[in-house]
Amino acid sequence: MKNINNVVIVIGALIVVAVVVVAYIFSGKNEEVQAGEYDTFAQCLYESGMRMYGSATCRFCAQQREMFGPSVKYIREIECDPRNPLSKTELCIAKNIAYTPTWILEDKNSNETYRFEPGVQTLEKLSEVSGCPFVKDLLPG
């Protein structure tokens, strides 16, 4: 009798886990990321080797991210704040990043080919240096 009760408890626990997993899958956590009006431009910046050295706590970095809107997901940002667990502090030191944001155009070997003065850059200026056409994508709706 005791073994049957244990089996019932295990089966009940498995059912609860299965329900939680199914609920998570259908809760919208895996929805497609919203399209942005600069997706094509931001993807081109990434492919061209344009990198933003920034910090999650930097207000100017936040301002720069806001300029891209949802398209910021395509920007390659290197975290430089050593307090952040995702920080690439050694890389930021090697690149002599004193202030953020600092944009650097890098070749395929991560060698610097152009460096902007630190600070927020216009999207037009990023386009000019990278060679990426500054275009807005047509969004549905």
Per residue in 92-117, pLDDT (tens digit) is 999 999 999 999 999 999 999 999 99
Instruction: Report d(CA 7, CA 76) in Å as an integer.
Output: 51
The pLDDT tens digits for 25-36 are 333 433 345 789
Name the band, by pLDDT with cuts 50, 70 and 90, for residue 18: very low
State if pTM tops 0.95.
Answer: no
Instruction: Give CA separation, 114 vs 6, 102, 117, 119, 129, in Å.
Output: 67, 11, 10, 15, 8
pLDDT of res. 35: 86
Beta strands in 10-136 (DSSP E): 50-54, 76-79, 102-106, 112-115
Euclidean distance between CA atoms 29 and 128, whole angstroms = 37
Question: Residue 79 contacts by C-beta under 8 Å, 6 or more apart in sequence?
Answer: 54, 55, 56, 86, 87, 88
112-115 β-sheet, strand order: 76-79, 50-54, 102-106, 112-115
Name the pairing type of β-strands 102-106 and 76-79. Answer: unpaired
